Chain A
């Protein structure tokens, strides 16, 4: 694979790879490092890449592995268990956090890594369940279960947040 083929077949997936890294690592700087690391590894093994049929799935799988390696190395194991309650920011925080979109973005980041990765692959990248299953090395059914859990949890957080907002609003009205 020469430079042109590498750009055409591999680098075109940089945006998706970067977003995936951002979703897993929740840090721009680390996500950039992960992307750089992945692309350097792929460039070094560029002669073996021709044999791969689904480049996107391969790259995203590799990106996830690089990110998980980075997390392991940095011992950033402050992953929140799936059953942890989401503590919505109090009204004061919320007034500071005026951008509701950012707020929901941070809610997604509170989800377990597998759930938020699947959620973003489906809803942001609009990938098919089959491809997500391939990348995550699981069955389509398992993907559906994780996706459903992630979305329901997100809905609960959003609804809970809205109720708290309303309570505060009623109190100060």
Chain B
């Protein structure tokens, strides 16, 4: 079989293709191997035998990953989320109780006003209120002054003397 001889020649020269090598392996696996080629049959049998060798079962270091129970899978993230919300609320409250110092703070009726425009507006209105109060409180004094200004002692004395004279006259009659 000239074809097999050629294939063997190519094979031993290392220039045979994968297809040609498959043909050779199939030839030597079969029953029709010529006597002159018999010498090479064990060679191809060795390759086939070695291909059957399996790796031993290994003791492998990886740990089996345990999946957490359903309740644990739900409860742990939920508890985590709840803790975050609680922390946020606490911090927010603390922040409200301990306000950060502002550049412009005015206490109005016990309340802090940080808006300068509102504070000014409020101050002006309060000022006008105060002025009205002062105005009202001065009114009696003003009236008293007017009364004093209008008061004529001589006239009053004269009128009083006249009245006394009138009474004396009428009483004598």
Contact = CB atoms under 8 A, between A and B. Distances in A.
A142 to B, nearest CB: 11
B18 to A, nearest CB: 7
Given A128-B18, A158-B40, A162-B39, A104 B46 contact: yes
A103 B53 contact: no
A48 B65 CA distance: 20
Contact of B56 (A32, A40, A154): A32
Nearest to A36: B58
A15 B53 CA distance: 7
Interface string A12-49: 00110111001000000000100110011001000000
Interface stretch (A70-78, A85-93, A119-127): A119-127
A151 B12 contact: yes
B62 interface: yes
A18 B53 contact: yes
A35 B58 contact: yes
B14 A120 contact: no
Contacts of A148: 12-15
A155 interface: yes
Interface in B94-108: none
Given A43-B62, A148-B14, A104 B43 contact: yes
A19 B60 contact: no
Contacts of A81: none
A100 B55 contact: no
Main SS class of interface, A: helix
Contacts of B11: 151
A2 B40 CA distance: 46
Interface string B29-46: 000000000011011011
B18 A15 contact: no
Given A14-B55, A40-B61, A158-B39, A101 B46 contact: yes
Interface residues of A, number: 39
A147 B55 CA distance: 25
A126 B42 contact: no
Nearest to B39: A162
Contact of B14 (A19, A22, A126, A151): A151
B12 A144 contact: no
B120 to A, nearest CB: 64
A84 B57 CA distance: 37
13 contacts: A6-B62, A18-B55, A19-B55, A35-B55, A35-B58, A40-B61, A43-B60, A43-B61, A43-B62, A105-B49, A120-B50, A123-B47, A145-B14
Given A36-B58, A144-B15, A148-B15, 17 more contacts: A15-B53, A22-B53, A40-B61, A43-B61, A43-B62, A101-B46, A104-B42, A104-B43, A108-B46, A144-B14, A145-B14, A147-B14, A151-B11, A151-B12, A152-B13, A159-B39, A162-B39
